[in-house]
Structure formats: C-alpha cells, structure tokens
C-alpha cells in the first residue's frame, strides 16, 4: 500500500509539472484542468481520478487507460483502492484515469453536463464534453496512446466517441454495451419494467456508419447478461463489419452484466489492445 501511494505521488508530481508547463485552463469550478482531479476546458470539466500501478518499474509507458463507468442515476464513486479502474491499473501495469461522466456527482465533486435519475444522457452535448476531456488528457500525456474502456452506458458513450470524435482515443473496449439503444430500452421495459423511450440519447448502432474502417474496437459481453443482452453487441458488431471494421464480440462465460468487469475475457481484451498500442 505504501509503495502504491509513493508511485501515485510520483505520477501526480509528474503530471502536475506537465500541467504547470502547459498552463491548463481553469475549469468552471475554479480547479485547473490538470488531468489529476479535472479534465476538460474552460467551458466544461469532468471529475477524474488517476490510478497508478504499484510497481513503477513495470509500468506500460506508451498507453494511458481511460475508464468510463456505467449508468447509475447521476451518482457514482471513483474508488482509489478498488473498482474496475484500480484493477485495470494493476493488471495491465498502466496508468489508468477514471472519468466521472457528465452531470454525475461524487465526494470528489460534480462533473459538468447533464444526467438524471432516469439516465437518458447519451446526448450530443455530453459526448462532446467527454471528447474535450479526452483531448485535455491527450495533451497532458504526450507520446501516449489512449485506450478508452467503457462499461454499459460508458460503453455506449465510448462507441459514440468513436463515431463522432475519432481522435479522442486510439482504441476502444466496450463491455456490456447497450449499443442499440431503442431495442435495449424496449427490452428493459419487458424484462425489468424499466422501459420508456429515451428521447435525448444517441444510439451507437445508428451512428455506426460514421466509424472509420481502421478503428481498433473490441466488444465483450457476459453470456448471462440479462440487462444489455449479447444481441445488442452482436447487432452493432455486424454494422461495424459492414463498414470494414475488423472487430468481433467476445463472450465472457458465466458472466453477468456486472461481473463481466471481473472476467478473464475482459482483462484479456484490454491487455491485447494495450499491447497493440504499445508497439
């Protein structure tokens, strides 16, 4: 634990030095967009938490992992010692930045943008805000490639970024993606009484035609996921393949919507993409 804190302290000092040199913009809440606590620009900033692996000597130097959490009604906790981002940092030995999605609140502050208890927030404005945050992180981490990893609603946001802001990341991993939003909302109404048309959200499937054929994008879904069914990932992958994108769906065996983030398949795909970006 002490070693991990020392590593993180060193990392933060390095980022702080880079941020000071680059003179980052001030966020609307007055904090700097330094990639340590906030990422974005003078118009909108997102709360972030930076997580470093415990062994600095084994760190993957060329890749920055960025994690987008799933839907949670506007409230989330970006845990420093557990959670998917922390585990990714350790397993892949790479600096990982957990982004708090637009409009979400936590003990660390509130991200700019809009969310609601009923979600429906995969909006053009929120996608643009995340893109600006990623642009800020890229400028603060010169020489690093960005692997954007999203779960559930975060996966939908990552897919929309691949369509609308392809320079935001260099590779994408979508876990348990509700990639066909209208069909997913209809299913949730049938399966859990949580239906209702989302009138504000974009659907990755409808935007698949904008994804460049050379995009590195992988999908993983639990074969026991009863929320974002494998069907929604499969339909999206077929649309990407029709565009010439070389991608596929990997099924995490015996994994549910939540436990897919602990599955060997999830970490295998993240590692494969990180290795590709490191070359």
* Residue 100 DSSP code: -
Give bridge partners of residue 174 from the DSSP assignment. 150, 219
* Residue 262 DSSP code: G
Three-class SS state of 264: helix
* Residue 117 DSSP code: T
For the stretch 126-156, pLDDT in tens is 999 999 999 999 999 999 999 999 999 999 9
Q: How far is the C-alpha of 115 from the C-alpha of 198, rounded, in Å?
A: 13
Residue 66: Cβ within 10 Å count: 26
For the stretch 213-223, pLDDT in tens is 999 999 999 99
Express as a percent the part of the chain with pLDDT over 90.
80
Which of 47, 60, 48, 57 shows the shortest CA–CA distance to 7? Answer: 57
For the stretch 69-112, pLDDT in tens is 999 999 999 888 778 999 999 999 999 999 999 999 999 999 99
Please give the structure tokens belonging to residue 199: 């009138």
Residue 21 above 60 pLDDT? no
pTM listed for this prediction: 0.91
For the stretch 158-214, pLDDT in tens is 999 999 999 999 999 999 999 999 999 999 988 877 777 899 999 999 999 999 999
Determine the pLDDT at residue 256. Answer: 98
Q: How far is the C-alpha of 185 from the C-alpha of 244, rounded, in Å?
A: 28
Q: How far is the C-alpha of 51 from the C-alpha of 48, rounded, in Å?
A: 10
User: Which region among 52-61, 82-91, 197-206, 250-259 has the lowest average model confidence (pLDDT)?
Assistant: 52-61
Determine the pLDDT at residue 7. Answer: 47
Which of 103, 11, 105 shows the shortest CA–CA distance to 52? Answer: 11
Q: How far is the C-alpha of 40 from the C-alpha of 38, rounded, in Å?
A: 7
Name all domains of the chain by residue range, CATH numbers in brackets: 2-278 (3.40.50.1820)
Please give the structure tokens belonging to residue 203: 């659907």
Determine the pLDDT at residue 197. Answer: 86
* Residue 158 DSSP code: H
Determine the pLDDT at residue 96. Answer: 96
Please give the structure tokens belonging to residue 211: 């994804």
Full 3-state SS string of 197-253 = CCCCCCCCHHHHHHCCCCCCEEEEEECCCCCCCHHHHHHHHHHHHHCCCCCCEEEEC
How many residues belong to the chain? 279
């Amino acid at each position: 634990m002490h070693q991990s804190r020392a590593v993180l302290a060193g990392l933060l000092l390095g980022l702080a030095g880079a941020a000071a040199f680059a003179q980052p913009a001030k966020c609307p809440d007055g904090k700097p967009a330094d990639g340590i606590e906030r990422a974005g620009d003078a118009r909108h900033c997102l709360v972030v938490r930076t997580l470093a692996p415990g062994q600095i000597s084994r760190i993957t130097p060329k890749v920055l992992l960025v994690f987008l959490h799933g839907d949670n009604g506007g409230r989330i906790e970006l845990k420093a010692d557990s959670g998917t981002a922390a585990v990714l940092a350790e397993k892949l030995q790479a600096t990982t930045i957990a982004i708090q999605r637009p409009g979400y609140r936590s003990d660390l502050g509130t991200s700019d943008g809009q969310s609601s208890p009923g979600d429906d927030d995969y909006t053009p404005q929120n996608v643009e805000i995340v893109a600006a945050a990623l642009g800020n992180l890229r400028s603060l981490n010169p020489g690093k490639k960005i692997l954007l990893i999203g779960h559930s609603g975060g996966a939908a946001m990552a897919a929309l970024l691949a369509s609308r802001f392809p320079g935001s990341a260099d590779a994408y991993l979508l876990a348990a993606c509700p990639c066909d939003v209208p069909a997913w909302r209809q299913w949730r109404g049938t399966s859990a009484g949580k239906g209702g048309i989302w009138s504000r959200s974009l659907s990755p499937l409808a935007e698949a035609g904008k994804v460049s054929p050379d995009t590195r994008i992988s999908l993983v879904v639990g074969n026991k996921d009863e929320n974002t069914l494998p069907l929604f990932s499969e339909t999206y992958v077929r649309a990407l393949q029709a565009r010439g994108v070389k991608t596929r769906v990997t099924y995490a065996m015996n994994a549910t919507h939540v436990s897919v983030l602990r599955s060997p398949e999830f970490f295998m795909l993240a590692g494969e993409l990180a290795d590709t970006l490191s070359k």
